[in-house]
Every structure is written in C-alpha cells, then in structure tokens.
Amino acid sequence: MRGKILFSAAAAVIAATCALAPAPAQASGSLVTVRESYMPGTIVVHTSERALYLMVGGGQALRYPVGVGRIGKQWSGTSFINGKYLRPAWTPPAEVRRDKPFLPNVIPGGSSHNPMGVAAMTLSGGEYAIHGTNDEGSIGHFVSYGCIRMHNADISDLFGRVGVGTRVVVTQ
C-alpha cells in the first residue's frame, strides 16, 4: 500500500510539473533540408527566393517566407542583429521621406500604419531591419527599401529564437 501511495504522489508531482512547464516554442517556419553549411543560429536570407532561413544544424533550417527589397533597393552581405524591439516606433529614413514626403516624422509602435509590425531586429551597418508587417499581402514579394519583412507571427517566432549578435547573411 505504501508503495502505491508513493507512486501516486510521484505521478501527481510529475503531472503538476508538466502542466506548469511552458509549452515548447512552435516553429512558424517550415523545417527544411539545406545544402549550405552555416553555423547553427545563423540567419540566411535568399533574396531571389524571398525566403529567410534560420539554420538549426544537421543540414536543416527553419524556412520563413519574406518580403525583400525592390529592384534597385536590394543588398547583399553579412550583418549582425544589433537591436531587438517589440512594438517599435518607426521614423522614415531619408530615402523613404524623399519618395513619400507626406509621411509623419514618427509612426508610433502599435499603429496599424506602422510598417514595422509587432517586432523588429535592426541590423548593423545600415538602416535595415528584419521586421514584421501590417501588410500581410507584401510577404513573398519585392516590396521594401531593403528591409526584410515577415508575417507578424513569424517575426515573433524568430524574435524568440535569436539574440543580439546573431549573424545575418543576405544573398541575391
């Protein structure tokens, strides 16, 4: 009888612990096989594919659809995440202001008019970021001034998986 009570108590503790433990993160991106040999944790953006890959190792990556720079606004190279922001305000860069002088100086975070969506990760070496978007129809297209746009659910997922200092490689 004593053994049965101890077993029941242990089972109850295990069940309670599992119920209180946070659920594992659910990947928004698709787990795919890749031929590239980047270090796990590296973000690779293939502009021509309009896809962002988070390398997870073992020849696999999480693949997310993205919107990328329009023709003439694309770039390639290596950068690093140098900042992470939830519900970021947005100040239009000079090039955007020239093309769209009617924009306000700052669009507050959380505004439906804010092109940064729910989160942004700024990149070293320029005015670019990997960010969400409130224009879901822009994903999969050549639409930005050089930033990498993601569905809000996808940027939220990626935001939780990477940190400041993460290497970002952008290819044509």
Write out the catalytic residue numbers. 131, 147
Q: Which of 148, 167, 146 is nearest to 70 (CA)?
A: 146
| 46 contacts 53 by C-beta, under 8 angstroms | yes
Q: Residue 56 is encoded by which pair of tokens?
A: 């997870």
d(CA 109, CA 112): 9
d(CA 26, CA 8): 31
By CB atoms closer than 10 A (0-12, 13-18, 19+), residue 74 is middle
Q: What is the DSSP string of 131-167?
A: E--S-GGGTTSEEESS-EE--HHHHHHHHHH--TT-E
Which residue matches tokens 């109850």? 12
